[in-house]
A and B are shown apart, each in its own frame.
Chain A
Amino acid sequence: MKSSAFELKHARTLGEATELLAGADGNAKVLAGGQSLVPMLNLRLARPKLLVDIKRASGFRELAADDKVFSIGAGWTHAEIEDGVLEDPTRGLLRSVAHGIAYRAVRNRGTMGGSLAHADPAADWVSTLAALGAVIVAQGGEEQPKRYAAESFVDGAFSTKLGESEVIAAIEVPRLSADASWAYQKICRKTGEFANAIGVAVLDQKAGIKRVLAGATSGSPALLPETAARLAEAGPGAACEIAAEEIRRVLPNLDIDTQELHAVAVRRALATLGGRQGR
């Protein structure tokens, strides 16, 4: 089980990567950490003619911040985030999620940007960043980078809004205030395995963030605005009561069992949030 042949080019800048992708007629893939892509190459399910490596491209690992936003270069690895090599603007959510991604050896090479671009519905960053209301910044052919709202970035399984020649450059994460609380619940059968359901709740009244999300659907993650509004108004207990019903409405294509499992994940996230607020 070895990959079919391809050409490998190392882009020095994200702009160069964009040009290489644009010239490849849809037969190129970006290679960052490769922790999701290479298994598919090995299985010969993915068979690009060109791989554009961007690990060392300038502009791929930049950090920029102010009091509202922390922008993380897409090339930072899960392990670097886990270890706190860079600041966590979410007061622990990013570090905690990073720690739960696959296994350490994978986290040491896999990147946040790569995981988003791959858009496995069950991957952790897809749900986490959507729940945070992060912005995904992509470099395309144009001068100005494109900016995508994380919650609508993923269209479905392995499918994103990203154009064929666009590369994710950075993820702008809103800073959470000292008042903020968050909770992340992943339901899976085995450590490091992809989740069967994810529930995320982020509440930061000061920063105006109130978001609840059901993730690891077979397609894009689903925000639960009514549950979130109830959370902000009446607290986690009240939000729990309406979560299942909202999930049934926003994810009508899932069977009852899966809808219920998502409701469990969301309710548990809300309950954890309640526990944290109580402290």
Chain B
Amino acid sequence: MRGRGRFVGDIHMPGLREVAFLRSPAAHAKISSKAKSPDHAVDTFFSEDLIGVSPIVTRSSIPGYKVSQYPILATDRVRFVGEPVAMCVAKSRAIAEDLIEQVEIGYDDLPVIASCAGGRRENAELLHPEWGDNLFLETFFDSGVDEVIAKAPISVELEMTCARQTMHPMEGKGVLAWWDDRADQLVVHTSTQVPHMIRAGLAECLGIAQAQIRVAPPDVGGGFGYKCLLQPEEVAVAWLAATFKKPFRWTEDRREHLVAGANARQHEYHVKAYADAQGRLLALDAEVSVDTGAYSVWPFTACLEAAQAGGNLPGPYHLPAYRCRTYSVATNKPPFAPYRGVARPGVCFAMEQVIDAIAQKVGREAWEVRRDNLVPASAMPYTNITNKHYDSGDYPEALVAAKDMIGLEAFRAGAKRDDRGRYLGIGFASFTEQSAHGTKVFASWGLPLVPGFDQAHVKLTPDGALEVAAGIHTIGQGLETTLAQIAHEQTGVPLKHIRVTLGDTATTPFSTGAYASRGIVMSGGAVSRAAEVVAGRIKSIAAHLLQVEPAAVGFAEGRIFAANASVTYEDVGRAWYLRPDQLPETVNTAGLEATEGYKPEVDTGVFSYATHAVRLAVDPETGLVEILDYAIVEDCGRMVNPMIVEGQTYGGAAQGIGTALFEESPYDDNAQPLASTLLDYILPGPTELPTFRIDHRETLSPYSAHGIKGVGEGGAIAPPAAIVNAINDALSPLNATIRQVPASPQRIREAIRRARPSQATESRRDVAR
């Protein structure tokens, strides 16, 4: 708040050179020629200059998965607009960009795959000719539905789509790399959520031993999933530093983020749902296509989205029969990355519309049908049809609470339009959020790097302060605060004397990083364990100093007590480090520090859940939507810090509202991106967002330390579903429905126009006037 944050772009270093990338203007082309400007040949780099560098290759253990070779700089082909083709270095970014303009690249256009349908068409141009088709992966799940379908009294069929999006942490990606001569080590300051994984990825691409790479992320200005990938630019800049032994930096600018940054969210759903006459689900028959882009990101693979979409579609409901086919289609667009919520905003968007459509069909209130289908508390723990193991909670209760908070009964009794002629509606969305899923789950998704035990190191200093180090990195989610709180609870050391260090591979133990809402559960668990161990050793030294049994010692008010006598943490620290002569022979020689690992015993994940309810107004003439009230009832288990839980939820919900109403990266038929500025790509601002209301439940998870469940992503999952359901509720008098996000004013106007009795009568009426 005083301008003292230190982000990648803020670092000053003598001799630092800035890097700019020449990016492909073509979505799909053969490179026919490459020419450097003769004046700047030494500052210009093509793929063939990057000797010893391997492309980014993400393998998956899932059978049938096809591997892409994601070049650091394009070799003979470009596969999306924005793909790096060359890089130039100079003393300033402006000059580096000048140099970029002097590079001449010849492109021979190839037919472009601009959509899932285009990629799956017979005889479609192949992005990766060796594959034989354009599918990273096709999956099929069938519990046996045909019999149920044949007998089901009610069915609905919906086609739904989510637009392509970009993620927009306010700080773009950035990386600064330099060579530490003394340590003979490549040092990489990169804006990342996953420093330890980046080290592994860089080592693989550069052919350098991991020990010779230190990844030390500075402050990170937001991540949301975008910064848990190894990016080609990151490899390229690291290569420059390792090769020339000088500091180099690239900072992503907003246009690069919009045009070339990893994309997310673009799903297409075709769902047939079957129910009984009351609206109880009998079966779901679904097809999901994900517009996955040209290459697989590392390490999350190009099939994580589709795998999660297929696995999570049944949602928080009791579903007896399920069939689902998924396609991860390679297209001439930037690679697909796991954005906050990963596939679940799309999944929830699809499933919750299905519930509303069934309710409409059976003539009941949507919330009632939802309640009747939710897994009841009495069934917990519950294993669903896709083998998700819901650990705890009362899903219907949260729904009913949200329904009461939003005031559904009073709303139904009131007017359907406001005094400005706007149509009013209420929509609901319920979901579960699998968080902190562990080894087995990730292994089942075929990831090349499967997270196991997260580790933390805790140490009492000679002057009685506590140092906590964890390999996870903070991206603004308040992790230092929550980890410090956990360490405090175990050791009693006052919060102001606890210092948390995160992320630096040189000073922290291994963690795969901050993603999948796992931070608080995994690293929190590791800190808790390490702190517990250190607490025990503090107690035994204190007990010796107080001449009592360790069991008689306790922590209170920042001191260590035995009955009325007490010592300070500094007394304990001093004894171990400076006055070992005061210690007994039997003292634990591991001292006042410990590294411990943690993963939940049942590592199928712990499931947070929530219901979002929204009341909104739709202007039928302009298509503009105003959110009038937004209520959230959520349960993330034990809340370590309620303010942070709420901050995460509001922030997620704000992004979800962006998905629902505003954010879209449109591509034309030639896969040219059409949003290159924040005037084309609308991020919701303070006037577009409501004052959220939130209510908490605290059902402790039986599987995690302290019963904590993850909370980072949930907020983003429900808004598209809740908002579209509310819009459709509002527009029901017009018989208009929208099945697409963002529900932009233009799409809403189109939906209303489509629902008019007929265009012909309309124009006749015009003439009559």
Contact = CB atoms under 8 A, between A and B. Distances in A.
Please determine whether chains A and B interact with each other in the same assembly: yes
B745 A1 contact: no
Interface string A244-279: 110000000000010011001000000000000000
B621 interface: yes
Contact of A43 (B676, B685, B745): B676
Nearest to A267: B621
A2 B99 CA distance: 12
Interface stretch (A64-72, A140-148, A153-161, A185-193): A185-193
Nearest to A103: B685
Contact of B97 (A2, A190, A257, A261): A2
B749 A257 contact: yes
A196 B745 contact: yes
Given A43-B255, A264-B622, A193 B682 contact: yes
Interface residues of B, number: 31
Contact of A193 (B256, B679, B769): B679
B706 interface: no
A260 B97 contact: no
A190 B255 contact: no
B766 interface: yes
Contacts, number: 59
A260 B254 CA distance: 34
Given A187-B624, A241-B769, A264-B621, A43 B94 contact: no
B662 A190 contact: yes
Contacts of B93: 2
Nearest to A3: B94
Contacts of A205: none
A194 interface: yes
Interface string A181-210: 000000101111110100000000000000
A193 B678 CA distance: 10
Interface in B677-706: 677, 679, 682, 684-688
Contacts of B745: 189, 196
Contacts of B256: 1
Contacts of B676: 43
B175 to A, nearest CB: 17
A257 to B, nearest CB: 6
Given A189-B624, A264-B622, A2 B750 contact: no
Interface in A215-267: 241, 244-245, 257, 260-261, 264
A4 B98 contact: yes
B120 to A, nearest CB: 30
Interface in B282-331: none
B654 to A, nearest CB: 13
B507 interface: no
Interface in B240-256: 253-256
Interface string A1-24: 111110000000000000000000
Contact of A189 (B621, B682, B686): B682
B687 A257 contact: no
B582 interface: no
A56 B746 CA distance: 43
A261 B98 contact: no
A107 to B, nearest CB: 16
B753 interface: yes
A52 B254 CA distance: 28
B687 A44 contact: no
A260 B750 CA distance: 11
Contacts of B685: 190-192
A261 B253 contact: no
Interface string A38-69: 01000110000000000000000000000000
A272 to B, nearest CB: 12
Nearest to A40: B677
A194 B677 CA distance: 13
A113 to B, nearest CB: 22
Nearest to B687: A191
Contact of A1 (B255, B746, B749): B255
Contacts of B101: 4, 44
A1 B624 contact: no
A2 B746 contact: no
Nearest to B93: A2
Given A43-B677, A196-B745, A1 B97 contact: yes
Contact of A2 (B94, B621, B744, B749): B94
20 contacts: A1-B97, A1-B253, A1-B255, A2-B92, A2-B94, A4-B98, A43-B676, A44-B101, A187-B622, A189-B682, A190-B682, A192-B685, A193-B679, A241-B769, A244-B766, A257-B749, A257-B750, A260-B749, A261-B621, A264-B621
Given A193-B682, A260-B749, 12 more contacts: A1-B97, A1-B254, A2-B97, A5-B98, A189-B688, A190-B687, A190-B688, A191-B685, A193-B679, A194-B679, A260-B621, A261-B749
